[in-house]
Amino acid sequence: MREARGNEAGEPEPGARRAENETGRQGEPRVKTALIDDEQVKARNIDVEAYKGVVSLSGFVDSKSEADRAVLLAQKVDGVKSVNDDMHVRP
């Protein structure tokens, strides 16, 4: 009996997961650029992660309005399906 490999076993071919990750993360630089280009948001304080159109923003901001603005900017980026707001307002 031969052992199933790659797609025969229902698993991705070698390198397929890497390609999927690269494709899934394409939104990160576009979202970060949108934050950097905005004068109301301090982008250096916000971390951006993206996977398959879902963007997560984390870090510390000076106000709720800054966090809201960052979420709005991220939502406007082409390919973004949803945005998770994990930012914290500094006390």
> What does pTM read for this prediction?
0.73
What's the count of helices (H) and strands (E) in the chain, helices before strands? 3, 3
CA–CA distance, 66 with 81 (Å, rounded to integer): 21
Q: pLDDT for 54-64, tens place per residue? A: 999 999 999 99
Q: pLDDT for 18-47, tens place per residue? A: 434 444 566 799 999 999 999 999 999 999
Q: Is-contact 60 35, C-beta < 8 A? A: no
Q: pLDDT for 5-18, tens place per residue? A: 445 555 545 544 44
88 versus 26: the higher-pLDDT residue is 88
Strands (E) across the chain are located at 46-51, 54-61, 82-89
